[in-house]
Structure 1
Amino acid sequence: MAKRLVLLAALLCAGAVHAADGSNNVATRPATVERQNDADGFTEPLKSLKFNPGLDQREFERATLNALEVYDPLESWNRRVYHFNYRFDEWVFLPVVDGYRYVTPGFVRSGVSNFFSNLGDVPNLLNSLLQFKGQRSLETTGRLLVNTTVGIVGLWDPASKIGLPKQSEDFGQTLGFYGVPAGPYLILPILGPSNLRDTGGLVFDFAAEAQINFLNVAQVSSDHPELYVLRAIDRRYTNSFRYGQMNSPFEYEKVRYVYTESRKLQIAE
C-alpha cells in the first residue's frame, strides 16, 4: 500500500513539473515573437521607413501641377475671366436659376430642356455627317423625327425611351476630327472653358443653326431675344458644375485639364 502511495505521489509531482514547463513556454513565446516582430519591423513599420529629406511640400505640389500641364499662354487673362465667371455665377446666374426653379413647375422645366435639346440635335446631325459617322447620323435623324412629331416639337423625349440616346457633336469636334489642333486654352466669359479651335466651332454652330432656322426658332428669337435668355438659363440649370465644389486651390488647373482631356476623348470616339 505504501509503495502504491509513493508511486502515485511521484506521478503527480512529474505532472506538476511538466505543466509548469508548459506554462513557462506559453508565457515566453509571445515575448519571443514580439521581439522578432520588433526586429523585423512588423510591429512598428514606420521605424524602418525612410523619407527623402530633400523633398518638401512645395516640390510635391509643383510636380503634381506639372502632370496637369496644358498649353495656356493666356493664363493671366484666363484666370481673370475665370474669376469673373465665378462671381457672375455666384451673384447672378445661380440666383436666377434658383428663381427659375422656384417659380416654374418641374414638368415645364423638363419641357423647356427637351425643346432646346431637340433644337441642338440639328447641329449634332450636321457635324455627325461632316465626320462621316453613319450610325450616329441615323440615330440623330431618328431622334429629330420622333421628338419633333411624337414628342410635340421636342417638348418630350420619347426617342431616348426607345433606344435613341442623345449624341453630342459640335464643329469643334469636327475640326479636331480633321486634325486641326486645339490651340491655346481659353476661358470664355460666362460660357467657360474652351480653346481657340472650339471657340471657332461655337461660332460656326450658332451660324448654322440660325441659317437652318429649324422650327422657325432662329427667326422668332431675333424678334424675341428673351428666348436666348431662357436658353442660357436652361443650359445653366441642366449643368451640375458649381464653382468651388472641388474645394481646392488648384481648381483652375483641374478644370483646364479635365476639359482638355475630355475633348480629346470626344474627338477620338
Structure 2
Amino acid sequence: MKLVPKKLLRSIVLTFCISTTLTACAKTDVSPGGIHDPNEAANRRIHAFNKGVDKVLLSPASNGYGTIIPRPVRTGVSNFADNLSLPNDVINNTLQGKLPQAGSSLFRFVLNSTFGVGGLFDPASAAGMERHDTDFGETLHVWGAGEGAYTEMPFFGPSTTRDAYGFAVDVILDPFFVVVREPTRYIGGVAYVVNKMGDRYDYDATVDSILYDSADSYAQARILYLQNRRFRLGMQGEETYVDPEFDPYEDPYADF
C-alpha cells in the first residue's frame, strides 16, 4: 500500500481546523427539556426524506438481503465491517488519551485480521477481548466541544453538530481511505452499507415501530438518539439533560 502524502496532509489540516473550531466554541445552551433543535423545520424535511429512502430502498433491500443471505454469512460481513473500523478506534482512543484502549483495539485488529481471516471471524471476542468502540465525535466531547444543535443528516439520520463534524472527520481519517489506493479504498464504505442492511433486517420490528408506528417519528428518533448518545458519553450532570432512569436498550438507532 502506498501512502499519498498530499491526501494525508489535507486530511490532517482539515481535521485540525474542524477540531479547533468546535473546541473553541462555547457550550450550547439547552432548553429545559434537554433538546436544542433550532433547525427543526429543516430537520423534519430531511427526516421525511430519510423515511422515504428507508421505505422505498433500504427496507426492501434489507429484507431481501436478510432472507436470501444465511445468518453465518451476514455475521461474517458484520465482523468484517467492524474489523475495518478498528483503526479508527485506535486513532480516537489515542486522541482521547486512552492508551490502553488504543493498544487493545490495535491488538484486536491484528488478531482478527490474521487469525480471523481478514476479519470475517472474531477470535478476539472469543478470547474475551472487549472492543473499545469510539469515534471522533466522542473525541471532540473529551476535548471540551459542546454538543451543539440536533441535526438530521441525509441518509445517515439523527446526529448533533458535534457528531456530524466527528462523522466527517472519521471518514476523512479512515486509514483505508487515506492510505489504500483505488478501488480498494472503498471496501470499507461498501462493507458499512451492507452491514447496515443486515442491522435493518435484524431490528426490523424496532425500526418500524420508531419510523412508522409512533405518532411523531421525528420526535421519537430524536429523543432516542440524544438519550443513547448522552448516556454513552457519560454526560449525566453536564449541560445537557440525561434521564437518570434511562435504559439504553439495544436497538439499531443506539447512536444511529
Query: Normalization by structure 1: what TM-score?
Result: 0.67
Query: Contact 2:84/2:188 (CA < 8 Å) preserved in 1?
Result: no
Question: Aligned in 2, Cα 1:244/1:81: closer, same or farther, shift over 3 Å?
Answer: farther
Shift of 1:230: 4.8
Equivalent residue, structure 2, for 1:253 = 219
2:93 to 122, 125, 128: 128
Query: Contact 1:112/1:155 (CA < 8 Å) preserved in 2?
Result: yes
* Unpaired stretches in structure 2, ≥5 consecutive residues: 1-30, 236-256
2:135 to 159, 162, 170: 170
Equivalent residue, structure 1, for 2:147 = 182
Three-state SS of the structure 1 residue aligned to 2:87 is helix
Say if 2:200 is the partner of 1:234.
Answer: no
What is the letter of the counterpart of residue 99 of structure 1? Answer: G
> d(CA) in 1 for partners of 2:103 and 2:158?
30
> d(CA) in 1 for partners of 2:122 and 2:145?
34
> d(CA) in 2 for partners of 1:252 and 1:108?
33
> d(CA) in 2 for partners of 1:264 and 1:245?
19
Shift of 1:219: 3.3
CA deviation string 1:12-51 (max 9, x = no partner): xxxxxxxxxxxxxxxxxxxxxxxxxxxxxxxxxxxxxxxx
- Aligned ranges 1:93-242 → 2 under 5 Å: 93-210=58-175, 216=180, 219-221=182-184, 228-239=189-200, 240=203, 241-242=206-207
Equivalent residue, structure 1, for 2:244 = none
Shift of 1:236: 3.3
Three-state SS of the structure 2 residue aligned to 1:155 is coil
Query: Contact 1:221/1:228 (CA < 8 Å) preserved in 2?
Result: no
> d(CA) in 1 for partners of 2:177 and 2:62?
29
Amino-acid identity (%)? 29
What is the letter of the counterpart of residue 198 of structure 1? Answer: D
What is the letter of the counterpart of residue 42 of structure 2? Answer: W
Greater per-residue helix proportion: 1
> d(CA) in 1 for partners of 2:52 and 2:216?
17
What is the letter of the counterpart of residue 207 of structure 1? Answer: I
> d(CA) in 2 for partners of 1:268 and 1:73?
24
> d(CA) in 2 for partners of 1:193 and 1:206?
17
Shift of 1:77: 0.8
Query: Contact 2:96/2:142 (CA < 8 Å) preserved in 1?
Result: yes
When Rg is computed on C-alpha atoms for both structures, the one with the higher figure is 1
Query: Normalization by structure 2: what TM-score?
Result: 0.70
CA deviation string 1:96-116 (max 9, x = no partner): 111222332322222111111
Question: Aligned in 2, Cα 1:230/1:143: closer, same or farther, shift over 3 Å?
Answer: closer
Equivalent residue, structure 2, for 1:262 = 228
Question: Aligned in 2, Cα 1:226/1:94: closer, same or farther, shift over 3 Å?
Answer: farther
What is the letter of the counterpart of residue 261 of structure 1? Answer: Q
Shift of 1:191: 0.4
> d(CA) in 2 for partners of 1:129 and 1:227?
21
> d(CA) in 1 for partners of 2:178 and 2:76?
20
Shift of 1:76: 0.5
CA deviation string 1:127-162 (max 9, x = no partner): 011111133222212211210111011010111111
Query: Contact 1:68/1:253 (CA < 8 Å) preserved in 2?
Result: no
Shift of 1:84: 1.4
Moved over 4 A (4+): 66-69, 210-214
How many residues are aligned here? 200
> d(CA) in 2 for partners of 1:254 and 1:67?
18
Query: Contact 1:143/1:159 (CA < 8 Å) preserved in 2?
Result: yes
> d(CA) in 1 for partners of 2:177 and 2:190?
21
What is the letter of the counterpart of residue 60 of structure 2? Answer: P
Pick 1 or 2: higher relative contact order, CA cutoff 8 A, min separation 6: 2
User: How much is the aligned-residue C-alpha RMSD, in angstroms?
Assistant: 2.5
* Unpaired stretches in structure 1, ≥5 consecutive residues: 1-65
